Structure 1
Amino acid sequence: MKTLRDPDCLLADGLNAIREQFQVPQDFAPEVEAAAQKAAQRVPSGHRDRADMHYVTLDPGNSTDLDQAFAIEPAGRDWLLHYAIADVGFFVDPGDPLDLEAWRRGTTCYLPGAKASLYPKALSEKAASLLPDGDRPATVFAVRVGPDGSTRLEGVEKALIRSRAKLAYENVRDDELPAGFAAIAGRVKAAEEARGAMRVDPPEQEVARDALGHYILQLRPQTLAEQRNATLSLATNLAVADALWQAQTGLFRVMPGASDRAITRLRGTAKAFALDWPADMALAEFEKRLNPFDPREAAFLMAARRGGGGASYVPFMAGEKPWHAAMAATYCHITAPLRRLADRHVIAAAMAVANGQPVPDFAADAFPLLPKVMAKAEARDNQVDRAVVDLAEAVMLSGREGERFAAVVTDLGEAGARIQLCEHPVVSRVTANGVVPGAEVTVRLTRADPVRREIVFEQIA
C-alpha cells in the first residue's frame, strides 16, 4: 500500500472487510507452496560469479522481498550502474504452478501491515530475494549514465551477486552508499527536467492518533535516499525500454497527460489549500515548486498523482511509439519481478535482445496477453487503495458529526460536487447548487460510518 500505512493496526476490522470484499488473495494452494519449496532448492549453474562486487540494497527497513541491488563504478565522465534484479525466472518455469498462480494474481497487493504476495515467501522473501545472507541469482543490467543524464544499456547477464548491506530509507547514511549514487540521481533528475517530465513523489498517508485520541491522517514525504533510489530504477527502465523499442519487441508502460478537466479540478484543490498557482503556469512546473514536507503542498502532490491519466501496458506495435507522459519518455517496467508478473517477461526479452538472441517464446507470446491481466490486477489494487483511504477518512471523522468544515469545489458530476476540505486531506462529494469549480463552500458532516467506509456532507453556505 503506497498511499497509506497503519503501523499501530488501528483499522484491523475494516481492513479484513476490504480483503473479503475485493477478494484479495491470501494463502497459496498446497501445490503452489510445494512448488515454491522445491524451486527454492535449485542451485544456479549458468550464472557468472560476481560475488566480489560491492552490491547493496536500499528499501523500507521492514521489507524482505528485495527485488533490486546495485553497484556503481566510474567510467570516464560517465557512471556505470550495475543494477541487479532478482532472477525470478530462474525459479519459475512457464506453465508450472508458480507461473499459473502468478498469472492469476498479477501483482502483490499491499495493505497497511500486510500484503498478498505474488509468490510464496519461500521465494519472495527468501531464496529469490536479494537479502544479504549469501549469494543470490540475479539478472544484472549494466547501464551507462552520461553527464547529461542520458542512459544506455551496455549489457545484461545472469550472475550470482552478494549484497553487502540491507540499507533502509529511514536511517541510511551517505557513507554507506556507493560513490556515484547521488551523482547518478542528480544527472537523471536533471535529464527529467530538461525533457519536461511530470513525475512526482507524493507522500504516504499514515494513520495515527492526535492529542485528543482522534484518528488522523498524517503525511510522510519520501526521504532523499528514497527519491534518489527511484532514479536508479528509472534509469534502468528507460535504458531497457529504448533497447526493446529499437529491437521492435517488448511490453511498455504508457500514460496520457492530465486532461483539461483534471487540471481544472487540481486548480480547485490548489485553491482549497491556499496555494498560489499562477494561471499561466503548467502543472509540471508548479509541482516542482512544491515542498513535500509541507502538509498542504504534500496533499496537493497526492491529488495531482490521482488526477493524472491512468497508466497501462501496451505491447510493441510497429509505427506506434509508446509514450509515458509523466516520464516524458518511452518507458517499461523490469525492476520488480517479485511484485509484478509482467516484469519477469520483459526481463527475459531484454536479456535476449542485449545478447543478440531471439526473444523466448514464453515472453513474446505473453506480451499481447499481459495488458489485460495487469489491468485487472491494478484495478483491484486501486480499489483496495481507495477503500483503505475511505476507511481511514471515515474513522478519522467519526464522532465529529455536526461539525462545519471549509471546502473548495474541485469538480462537478452527476453524483454532485467533488469537494476538497481545506484543513484535512479529505475528498468527498456533496449535493450543491449554483457552484462552479473553485467555489468556496462550507459543509456540515452529517455521517461518518467506518463500517460502510462512508462520509456524508451537506452544504450550508
Structure 2
Amino acid sequence: MKTLVDPANALVRGLSAIRTEFHVPQGFAPEILAAADAAAARVPDAHADRTALPFVTLDPASSTDLDQAFTIEAAGSDLLLHYAIADIGWFVRDGDPVDIEAWERGTTLYLPDGKAPLYPPVLSQGAASLLPDGPRPAIIFTVRVAPDGGVRLDGAERALIRSRAKLAYDSVTEAELPPGFAELSRRIAEAEAARGAARVDPPEQEVERLAEGGYTLRFRPRLQSEEQNSALSLATNMAVADAMIAHHTGLFRVMGRPSPKSVDRLRHEAGALGIDWPADQPLESLERSLDPADARHAAFMLAIRRAGDGASYMPWREDQAPWHSAVAAAYAHATAPLRRLADRYVVETVLAIANGRPVPDAAQAAFAKLPRVMARADARSGQIERAVIDLAEAVMLQGREGERFEAVVTDVDPRGARIRLCGQPIVARIAATDVGPGDRLTLRLSEADPGRRTLTFDTA
C-alpha cells in the first residue's frame, strides 16, 4: 500500500471536479434537515422489546450507517439467524421531504473524501443506525438455516434491540462473534456450491483516505470476515425473496449468465492467461476455484464480470420467475435500507407478509418505478467510482512520463486493450488490437493528466 504523492493537491481538486461533474449532492436543503430532525424524534412505540438478545454489528471500522445487526441460536440441527435491519421506514413517511429527496438520490454515493448519504445523517448515522449506544428500532428477520444450507423465513417483527459491540472486519476475533457464526457461513457456502452458484468477487480497485493524511490506491481482496458476514446477508435476502415469490409480489435483484458466445471467448482468455479449464468443466465450477490473490486469476475474474449483462431490478411478474445467476437462486435486496432506496420497500413488504397483513399500497406502487430509479442511481455510482480511480491513477503516475512499465493484457474489445501494470494497482487502456488476454507488454508512459483523468501509454 503506497501513499499517493500529490504535492499539487491534484487529487483534492479532482475530487471536487468529480462532485461537480456528476452532481453529487452537497448536504441537504434546510427543509429536509428540519423534517429529518422531526422524524428522528419519533418514539418507537410499535416495537417488541428484544434488547435481551446479544446482537452485534460487523462492518468496516469507520462505518456509522449500520444497516444490520445479528445474533444466532441453535434450534435442534438448524440455526436461527436473527438478522436485525435498520428500521428507516419507521422514521421516513411516504411523500415527506426526506422521502422525496431519497427518491432523487436512490443510493448513498461514496467518494474518498466523504459520502453523500441517501438519508440525512441525523437518521442514517444517528436515530436509525444500529449503533451500540442504546436501544435502537429495527426489523428482525428470523431466518432458519438447515444443515444443508437451505433457508426459510420464520418471522419478521418490529423490535427494539441493543447492539453489544461494533465489530470491524479487519480486527474482529472469533471469540467476539456469536456462536454458530462460522458454521452458518459454512452451510451457506456449501449450499452455494451445491446449487452451482458463482458468487466470486475479484479484488476491488479503490482509493482510500488515510488517517494520517493523503490517499492510497490499491487492489483490496475481501477479508475472510467480510466473506463470512456476507453469507448472513445472502441467507436473509434469499429467504426474503422466497417469501415474496410465495405471495406474488416484491422487487428482485436479477442477473443472467454470460451467453455461449461469451463463454467461448472466456475459454480463449483462460488459455492465454495459463489457466487450466477442462472442456467438460462448467464455468461456475471454474469460478469457485479461482484465487483473487493470483494476478492471472484476478484478471480472469474481471473478464467474467464483464462478460455478463450485469445485475438489475425486476418487480414480480407472473410470466417470468426472478433469477440471479451468480447466486443460482431467487434473490432480493433487503439488508441495506440506509444506503439503498429499494430495500426500504422490500423490508416493509416482507414485514406485512410475515404478519398476515396486506402489502402496503405505497410499496406495490414503488415496485413498478424502482427499477428505473435504481438503474439511474447505480449508473451514477459506477461512473463516480471509475472517475475516482482514473483520477488517482493519473496522480500516482504524474511526473513519471517516459518511464517504462511491464503490463499484462486482461481484455480486448473494439476500443483497444485493457491492461494491468505489473506491481502497480493500476488498470488502463491502450490503443492496441493485435494483442490478446495474457500477453505481457512493455509500455512507455507518454502522459499522465489528472485534469482529464487520463493515462496514455505507447508500446515500447
TM-score normalized with structure 2 length:
0.91
Find the aligned partners of 1:266 and 1:62 in 2 and give their Cα distance: 38
Find the aligned partners of 1:51 and 1:176 in 2 and give their Cα distance: 18
5+ residue gaps, structure 1, are none
Find the aligned partners of 2:208 and 2:51 in 1 and give their Cα distance: 43
Q: In the alignment, is the contact (CA less than 8 A) between 2:205 and 2:220 conserved in 1?
A: yes
Partner of 2:218: 218
Q: In the alignment, is the contact (CA less than 8 A) between 1:221 and 1:298 conserved in 2?
A: no
Partner of 1:230: 230
Is 1:116 aligned to residue 112 of structure 2?
Answer: no
Find the aligned partners of 2:306 and 2:63 in 1 and give their Cα distance: 25
The alpha carbon displacement at 1:427 in A equals: 3.2
Provide the secondary structure at the position in 2 that maps to 1:141: strand
Deviates most, 308-317 or 200-209: 200-209
Is 1:147 aligned to residue 147 of structure 2?
Answer: yes
Is 1:78 aligned to residue 78 of structure 2?
Answer: yes
Provide the secondary structure at the position in 2 that maps to 1:353: helix
Deviates most, 342-351 or 254-263: 254-263
1:303-318 map, 5 Å: 304-318=304-318
Q: In the alignment, is the contact (CA less than 8 A) between 2:255 and 2:312 conserved in 1?
A: yes
Provide the secondary structure at the position in 2 that maps to 1:160: strand
Distance 1:215 1:357, change over 3 A: closer
Provide the secondary structure at the position in 1 that maps to 2:33: helix
Find the aligned partners of 2:10 and 2:177 in 1 and give their Cα distance: 35
Partner of 1:391: 391
1:247-326 map, 5 Å: 247-259=247-259, 263=263, 275-278=274-277, 280=279, 281-294=281-294, 297-298=297-298, 300-302=300-302, 304-326=304-326
The alpha carbon displacement at 1:270 in A equals: 5.7
Partner of 1:42: 42
5+ residue gaps, structure 2, are none
1:271-420 map, 5 Å: 275-278=274-277, 280=279, 281-294=281-294, 297-298=297-298, 300-302=300-302, 304-420=304-420
1:94-133 map, 5 Å: 94-133=94-133
Deviates most, 381-390 or 260-269: 260-269
Q: In the alignment, is the contact (CA less than 8 A) between 1:215 and 1:395 conserved in 2?
A: no
The alpha carbon displacement at 1:284 in A equals: 3.1
Distance 1:297 1:418, change over 3 A: closer
CA deviation digits over 1:401-444, x for unaligned, max 9? 22333444444444333334444443333233544555554432
Find the aligned partners of 1:309 and 1:48 in 2 and give their Cα distance: 43
The alpha carbon displacement at 1:249 in A equals: 0.2
1:190-201 map, 5 Å: 190-201=190-201
Find the aligned partners of 1:42 and 1:311 in 2 and give their Cα distance: 36
Aligned residues: 451
**Percentage identity across aligned positions?**
59
Find the aligned partners of 1:159 and 1:368 in 2 and give their Cα distance: 29
Distance 1:261 1:208, change over 3 A: farther
Find the aligned partners of 1:114 and 1:296 in 2 and give their Cα distance: 33
The alpha carbon displacement at 1:44 in A equals: 1.0
CA deviation digits over 1:131-186, x for unaligned, max 9? 11111111110100000000000011111111111111111111111111111000
Deviates most, 163-172 or 141-150: 163-172
The alpha carbon displacement at 1:267 in A equals: 6.1
Distance 1:156 1:389, change over 3 A: same
Is 1:165 aligned to residue 165 of structure 2?
Answer: yes
